A = this chain, B = another copy of it.
């Protein structure tokens, strides 16, 4: 994937050139992850806004990036809520916002065909070519920002990006009423996906390993069981694979009926072993799924259909960001938040 290099937005370039040394706190990855207190304020181009990050959420992708996935260098993080600090559109300054993470070129065949999220030269907040949300400030194009409704708390709004991804998995699943739907994985994303399925009118069963997390699902009226309880004969019409684990796909294949569908959310960096013969023999469709619709996620959050109680397992100030990353990696962790506001 070719990623556009944009030195204006590279905190790294500024920092190491020694030309501009700021006083922005944030996490920085350059082969190792560190906390820094003297990152520069990220540069803003016309049509972009500077956003003061209030809260950021740690996602499995951030953990992969800190292991070298995407060969990213810079400030990681792509789930956030913040306030516009600077913008060409003066009326937006001070507004609470969340932001779509893909920044497409707008000019290529994919962009013109409505597939900007797959633009080959796009930058991606905290993932490719653009510094991210684990800092006091970030920069995004104005059109990426979405206003947070007044009644919605920051600790809800920060779930917009992962809930949008969960909504995308529901779209890809295309489950019809009466179909047997499973969400494999009881982590942050799995529980959000199960709630998004419930809100869509087609309930899903969460299949996981953690007694505590399965209980969180049941408290929300969602059917939940272990892989052993589901057994080999589960025969799902569609499984959303949201384990984040290397063996997730093999388990998903064993849970899916012939000619069923698997929506794959887990991105594992690098090559790993898998036996795809069952996919061919059983004529299963495996559908990759990534970023989702922010408007749908904000509407779901505003409607109260998504119950976030118990989904945050830690909140750390940005200065303790490395500790927060450790916490997010720990078995049993759910969403870990970083408080980035001054």
Contact = CB atoms under 8 A, between A and B. Distances in A.
A277 B267 contact: yes
A264 B279 contact: yes
Interface in A286-330: 286-290
A259 B276 CA distance: 20
A280 B288 contact: yes
Interface residues of A, number: 36
A275 interface: yes
Contacts of A279: 264, 286, 288
A218 interface: no
Contact of A265 (B110, B266, B280, B284): B280
A90 interface: no
A118 interface: yes
A275 B283 contact: no
A270 interface: yes
Contacts of A258: 110, 115, 118
A212 interface: no
A274 interface: yes
A9 to B, nearest CB: 21
Given A118-B258, A259-B118, A288-B285, A275 B280 contact: no
Given A69-B277, A280-B289, 6 more contacts: A115-B259, A267-B281, A271-B273, A282-B288, A284-B287, A286-B288
Interface of A: 1, 69, 110, 115, 118, 172, 249, 257-259, 264-277, 279-290
